[in-house]
Structure 1
C-alpha cells in the first residue's frame, strides 16, 4: 500500500493512544508553501537550509582557516570519544540480535495484512546501492592493504611479514596470519556494526510510520519518550540534527567518490587530478542526480540502483574468474572465521593500545555510518513495508554483511595475493584512491575494467545524491514524501555544494571531520531510538 496524498501512510494496527495524539499533533506540523514553492515545515527547513547555505559560503570564503579547524576537530573527536562510538555500535548490534530472537520478530511492518511493495531483487539492489556503494569501491582494495601493510598496534609490516600483535594473537613472521588479520579488521568496519546502525534507524522509522500512523521523519520515533512534545522544539531539534547528519555524511561519501573517479580518469585519459577537475566532476554528477530526482523513486533511484548492482556484479565476477579464484573462494570462509574470532577484541571499547586503528579508523567509521543512518535508514524504511521484523533485521543485517565479506575478500584478497605472491609493489605504494585501478592493471582488459570501475563510482555517486536529497526533503517537509520539486532540487544542489566546500576547505580530512562531528550527537539520538522502538514494538499485535 502506497502512502496517501499527504505522504502519510494509513495507520494499521497502531495503538489508540498514538493515533489520537497524532491527530492532535498533526495540526502543529502542518506546513505551508513558502517562497519559490518550498514546503516549509515550521523551523526545520528554515534553520537547516539557512545553516547549510551559511556553512557553504563561510567555508569557501575562509578555506585555509576552515581546513585547520576541520582537521583539528576530527582528531579531537575520534581521540576523545572512541570509547563512546565503539560502545554505542556494540549496543546496536546486540539490539538487532535481540529483535531477531525475540517474539517481536513476528510483528509485520505496515500491519498484519501488509505485503511487500518490492521484490527481493529490487529491495536488495536499492538497499545495497544506497548503503555502501561508493565506500566499497573506494575501500575494497585500499583498506585491506592498509591494514596488511601497516600497524594495528604500534608494530609494522615489512615486506608483507607482520610482527606479533598480542591483542589479536597474530603470529610473528606469518604472512597468512597477517592477511587474515588485515581482512578481519577490514570486514569489522563493513560487517555487522554498520548494518546494525542502519537497521535500527530503518526499523524505527518504518514502525512508527507504517504501524503507528506518524509522519515518516525522525521525530516520530520518539513519541514513546516525549509524547506530543515531538511536535514542538524537541522534535524540531531531532529533525534538524538528522538533516545535518545526513548532509555531511553524504558529502563525505561524495568526496571519496570524486577523489577516486578523478584519479581513475587521470590514469586512463590524462584528465588532471586537481581541485578544478573534482569540482567539475561533482557539478556534472549533481546535474545527473537532479534528473534522477525529477524522475522519482521508481523511475530514478530504483532503475539506477539495479543497473549499478548489475555492473558491480559483473566486475566482481571478473575479479573472481581472472584473479586468484581458489584463494578467493577459500579465503571467504577463512576471513569470515577470522572476523568472528577477532570480533570481541576488535570491538572492545576499553583500554585499547592500538590508537591508530581504534581512533583513526574505527571511531571515524562508526561516526560516518551513524551520520549516514538517517539517510540510509529512511530510504530502507520507505521500501520495506510488508516485511516482518525478523525478516527485515535478518536481511538488512546479515545478508549485506556477508556480501561485504565476499566483496572485500575478492578485491582486497586479490590485491594482497598480488603483493605477497607476485611481488607487485605498485598496488601497495599507490595512493588510496588509485589502489583499485592499480590492482585491475595487473589483470587482462585493464582499461575496460578500470573504466567500468569509474562508471560504478559515478553511478553510485548519483544514486547516493538522489536518495539523500529525497530523504532530506522528506524530513524538512515534516514526513511528506511528495514535497514540491523545487525543494528536492534545492537539497540535491546543496549536497554537491557542501561536498565542494569541504573538499576545497580541507580535503578528505574536512569531509571526515564533519561526518564525525554530526555523528556524535546523532549517536545519542540512536541510543534513545532503541528504547523507543522497544516500547513501540511492545504495543504491536504479534
Structure 2
C-alpha cells in the first residue's frame, strides 16, 4: 500500500512521462534533506541562505530603527506606483486560468490520481481553507474597508459639485447610494475572486506536481516542465528561497495586523494600553501558543483550531445579521454581488487612471500581499486537498470562499455604514482602523461578549496562521519533506514572531506592508510562469 504521507512514495501515473522524462529518484537524490546541527532536517543551501538572511534582517533592522522606517515606506510607494499595472494584470491572468480549468476537460483530472479519495471531509476542508486564507484580514478590514471606500467614493462623486461619470452613470440613484455600492464593490473586489485565484493556482500546481507526478512538495517542483533537471540546482534553490522570503514577510504582515487589532480590542475592553510594548508582548504570547499548536501536529493543532474558529466566526456573523439591519444585509448581499459584477471591469483594469490612490494604495498592495502569501496558503491547501478533482478544487477554493467573503463584508461593513448614515454614529467612522470593528460591536447588544469573541477570533486566526506558516516554510527548507523534525518548525515559528516584532518596531504597519510588496513583486513573475507549467502538467494527466 502506498504511503500517502510521503510524496516520494506516490507512484508516477500514466501520462506523466510526457513531462517528467527522467526517474524521480534522480531529483530526489539531489533534493534529499540533510540532518544538520540541533537535529534540524535541512536542505542546503535553501535553509542556510534563508535562515541567515532572516537573522541578518532582524539584527540590522533593530540596530537602525530610526533609518529603516522611511526606507520601508519609500520602497512600498515606489513599487506600488511603478508596477501597479503589473500586479493588476497578473491577478487577472490567474482568475482567467481558474475559470478555464472549471469549464474545460482539464477539470476532470483528480489530485493524487484517478483512484485517490479525499483525506478530509468538506466541513474540515472548508474550515482549514478559510482559516489559512484570510481570517485575520477579514477581521481587520471587514468594517474599516467599506467605510474607507465609501468615504473616498462619496468625496469623488461630489467633487466640483457634480457626480463622477467615469465609473458608471448614476441614473436615478442618489450619489450616496451609488457611493455605498461602489464602496462595497471595491471591498469585495479585494476579497473575492482575485485573491482566491492566486491561492488556487499555487495550491493546484503544488498538488498536481507532488501528488500526481511524484515530485517533492516544494515550489521548485512546479517548474519542472520549464526547467527540467535544473530545478534541482541553483534555479530551484532561488525559487524556494524566494518562496521562504515571500511566505515569511507576507505572514509577518498579517501577524502585524492581527496584533494591532487584538491589542486595540483588549485595550477597548480592559484598558491594557495600546502601545508598541503591549503589541510586542501580545505577539510573543501568541507565538508561544502557536508553538503548542506546532507540537500538537496538523490534525490535532491546525485542524482543530480552524474548526473552532470557523464556529466562532459563523456565530459572530449570524449575530451581526440577526441584531443588525437584517433586511438590509440580506438584500444587500445580492445588491453587492451585482455591484461587484458591474464595477469589476473598471476595478480590475491595469491601465485605468481614474483613481491612482485606490489602484496603488489599495489594490496593488493587496495583490502583492496575496501573492506573497500564496506559497504559504497554496502549500497548506495542497496538503489538505488530495482526492479532489481539479474542477471541484477550483470551484471550492475560488467561488465558495469568495461568496462567504461577500456575506462577511456585507454584514460587517453594511452594519457599520448603517450606523453611520442612519443612526448618525460618528465613533465608528472616526476610530482608527484596528478599532472600527469594536466600535461597531459596541453599538449592538451584548457588546462585551461579542467584542471578546472578536478578540478570540483574531488571536486564534493569528495562531493558525503562524502554525500553518511554519509548517510550509519547514517543508520548503527541508526540500519538500512533509515530516521534518518538529524542532525545525519551532525554529521558523519563533522567527515569524521575531520578524513581525522587528518590522513593527522598525516602521510599524508601513514596514510590514513594504516587505510584503517587495517580496510579492518577484514572486508574481514566478507565478505567471507557473501558470504555463500547470497547464502542461494537467494536459498530460489521465482524466
Q: Shared fold (TM-score greater than 0.5)?
A: yes
Q: Does 1:352 align with 2:353?
A: yes
* Aligned ranges 1:82-93 → 2 under 5 Å: 82-93=84-95
* Aligned ranges 1:338-487 → 2 under 5 Å: 338-487=339-488
Alpha carbons of structure 1 residues 2 and 251: separation in structure 2 relative to 1, 3 Å:
farther
CA distance in 1, matches of 2:10, 2:174: 62
Does the CA contact (< 8 Å) of 1:154 and 1:354 recur in 2? no
Q: Which residue of 2 aligns with 1:182?
A: 183
Does the CA contact (< 8 Å) of 1:153 and 1:357 recur in 2? no
Q: Which residue of 1 aligns with 2:66?
A: 64
TM-score of the aligned structures, taking structure 1 as reference length: 0.97
Which one of the candidate residues 75, 99, 114 is aligned to 2:101? 99
* Aligned ranges 1:140-151 → 2 under 5 Å: 140-151=142-153
Q: Which residue of 2 aligns with 1:283?
A: 284
Q: CA deviation at 1:165?
A: 5.1
Q: Does 1:530 align with 2:534?
A: no
Q: CA deviation at 1:61?
A: 1.1
**1:272-292: per-residue Cα shift (whole Å, max 9, x none)?**
101100000000000000000
CA distance in 2, matches of 1:153, 1:91: 32
Q: Which residue of 2 aligns with 1:42?
A: 44
CA distance in 1, matches of 2:248, 2:162: 39
Does the CA contact (< 8 Å) of 1:153 and 1:165 recur in 2? no
Q: Which moved more, 1:63-72 or 1:132-141?
A: 63-72
Number of residue pairs matched?
Answer: 540
Does the CA contact (< 8 Å) of 2:33 and 2:481 recur in 1? no
Q: CA deviation at 1:167?
A: 2.2
Q: CA deviation at 1:101?
A: 0.8
**1:327-374: per-residue Cα shift (whole Å, max 9, x none)?**
000000000000011100000001323001000000000000000000
Q: Which residue of 1 aligns with 2:229?
A: 228
**1:89-137: per-residue Cα shift (whole Å, max 9, x none)?**
0000000001001110000000000000000000000000000100000
3-state SS, counterpart of residue 59 of structure 1: helix
**1:37-65: per-residue Cα shift (whole Å, max 9, x none)?**
11120200000000001111111111111
CA distance in 1, matches of 2:170, 2:8: 53
Q: CA deviation at 1:25?
A: 1.4
Does the CA contact (< 8 Å) of 2:7 and 2:214 recur in 1? no
Q: Which residue of 1 aligns with 2:255?
A: 254
3-state SS, counterpart of residue 215 of structure 2: coil
Q: Which residue of 1 aligns with 2:493?
A: 492
Q: Does 1:505 align with 2:503?
A: no
Alpha carbons of structure 1 residues 351 and 331: separation in structure 2 relative to 1, 3 Å:
closer
Q: Which residue of 1 aligns with 2:10?
A: 10
Q: Which residue of 2 aligns with 1:541?
A: 542
**1:198-223: per-residue Cα shift (whole Å, max 9, x none)?**
00000000000000000000000000
CA distance in 2, matches of 1:248, 1:130: 15
Q: Which residue of 1 aligns with 2:111?
A: 109
Alpha carbons of structure 1 residues 7 and 492: separation in structure 2 relative to 1, 3 Å:
farther
CA distance in 1, matches of 2:254, 2:168: 30
3-state SS, counterpart of residue 118 of structure 1: coil
Q: Which residue of 1 aligns with 2:329?
A: 328
TM-score of the aligned structures, taking structure 2 as reference length: 0.97
CA distance in 2, matches of 1:82, 1:519: 12
CA distance in 2, matches of 1:163, 1:301: 49
Q: Which residue of 1 aligns with 2:214?
A: 213
Q: Provide the alpha-carbon RMSD of the alignment.
A: 1.7
Alpha carbons of structure 1 residues 2 and 363: separation in structure 2 relative to 1, 3 Å:
farther
Q: Which residue of 2 aligns with 1:22?
A: 24
Unmatched segments (≥5 aa) in structure 1:
none
* Aligned ranges 1:297-336 → 2 under 5 Å: 297-336=298-337
Q: Which residue of 2 aligns with 1:195?
A: 196
Q: Which residue of 2 aligns with 1:167?
A: 167
Q: Which residue of 1 aligns with 2:83?
A: 81
CA distance in 1, matches of 2:25, 2:192: 40
Which one of the candidate residues 128, 132, 135 is aligned to 2:134? 132
Does the CA contact (< 8 Å) of 1:415 and 1:427 recur in 2? yes
Does the CA contact (< 8 Å) of 1:153 and 1:354 recur in 2? no
Q: Which residue of 2 aligns with 1:238?
A: 239
CA distance in 2, matches of 1:165, 1:404: 28
CA distance in 1, matches of 2:405, 2:187: 10
Q: CA deviation at 1:269?
A: 0.4
Q: Which residue of 2 aligns with 1:122?
A: 124
Q: Which residue of 1 aligns with 2:297?
A: 296
3-state SS, counterpart of residue 45 of structure 2: helix
CA distance in 1, matches of 2:519, 2:280: 24
Alpha carbons of structure 1 residues 251 and 9: separation in structure 2 relative to 1, 3 Å:
farther
Does the CA contact (< 8 Å) of 1:375 and 1:468 recur in 2? yes
3-state SS, counterpart of residue 146 of structure 1: helix
Alpha carbons of structure 1 residues 5 and 339: separation in structure 2 relative to 1, 3 Å:
closer
Alpha carbons of structure 1 residues 9 and 432: separation in structure 2 relative to 1, 3 Å:
farther
CA distance in 2, matches of 1:280, 1:169: 50
Does the CA contact (< 8 Å) of 1:254 and 1:499 recur in 2? yes
Does the CA contact (< 8 Å) of 2:209 and 2:215 recur in 1? yes
CA distance in 2, matches of 1:47, 1:128: 32
**1:375-433: per-residue Cα shift (whole Å, max 9, x none)?**
00000000000000000000000010000000000000011111111111111111100
Q: CA deviation at 1:501?
A: 0.3
CA distance in 1, matches of 2:419, 2:2: 50
